[in-house]
Amino acid sequence: DTGVSQNPRHKITKRGQNVTFRCDPISEHNRLYWYRQTLGQGPEFLTYFQNEAQLEKSRLLSDRFSAERPKGSFSTLEIQRTEQGDSAMYLCASSPPRQGPTYEQYFGPGTRLTVT
Amino acid sequence: AQKITQTQPGMFVQEKEAVTLDCTYDTSDQSYGLFWYKQPSSGEMIFLIYQGSYDEQNATEGRYSLNFQKARKSANLVISASQLGDSAMYFCAMREWETSGSRLTFGEGTQLTVNP
């Protein structure tokens, strides 16, 4: 078990370009979350999948953002027409079906996006 | 109103001493969970400890304990016998089972520095 993995780890793009990030959750984790973290702040929730269904979306997830989890395994987060304000760390987390009291989310290393 | 408030942007502690990181929260849910995560400079969020709103005893995990005072809506993290490797950003987070489902709401964090 290698934990949650995210690719790429770093992405530099020019304003207006589209970018796509990938998250591979821990195997058998059916819940997957995306968060965004700007410098000096805590992570902010973006969206949540249970298996392939997208069950929650934050108001932060504008029309330029789309997330998918087509087969209930890995997920992608796409940002279209990037803006400088999109520069942030994008964190993915996963959690198993409800087991035990903690229900903690296991986070990946994040993808740092810089929009120039 | 902020749902999670961490009033200490930075804290310093001497190696081997104990330190308390403050967290207050705001919720109208009766059922909620409180989490502490550690984020080293590498960026990955590491789960430390969990406290459920109905748990009568304070949670403990090794050198970490959570001082849960429900009436005051506080959930302070106590790290005993600090180590140099404890230097990191620490985030308090909450899950509100009734109003926000699976998402975690994070505070702004406290940067802990352990001095030798």
pLDDT at A84 (0 to 100) = 95
Q: Under an 8 A CB cutoff, do A31 and B105 touch?
A: no
When pLDDT is averaged across residues A59-73 and rounded to a whole number, the result is 90
Q: What is the pLDDT of residues A94-114, one digit of tens each?
A: 998 875 556 788 999 999 999
Q: Which residues contact A73 (CB under 8 A, 6 or more apart)?
A: A24, A25
Chain B contacts to A (CB-CB under 8 A): 4, 33, 35, 37, 42-47, 50, 52, 55, 91, 93, 95, 101-109
Given this model, what pLDDT does residue A102 score? 64
Q: Which of B33, B103, B108 sits opposite A41 (nearest CB)?
A: B108
Instruction: State mean pLDDT over A4-24.
Output: 97
What integer is the mean pLDDT of A59-65? 89
For B51-110, how does the pLDDT look when each residue is reduced to its tens digit (9 = 90+)? 999 988 999 999 999 999 999 999 999 999 999 999 999 999 999 877 777 789 999 999
Model pLDDT, residue B97:
79
Using CB atoms within 10 Å of the CB of residue A79, give its burial: 0 to 12 exposed, 13 to 18 middle, 19+ buried: buried
B106 to A42: CB separation less than 8 angstroms, yes or no: yes
Q: Which residues of A touch B107 (CB under 8 A)?
A: 42
Cβ-Cβ contacts under 8 Å, B102 against chain A? 31, 33, 48, 50, 55-56, 95
How far does the CA of residue B24 sit from the closest CA of chain A (Å)? 15
At residue A97, the pLDDT reads 80
pLDDT of residue B102: 79
Q: Cβ of A22 under 8 Å from any chain B Cβ?
A: no
Distance CA A20, CA A6 (A): 11
User: Given a cut of 90, is residue B42 above it in pLDDT?
Assistant: no
**Residue A59, pLDDT score:** 87
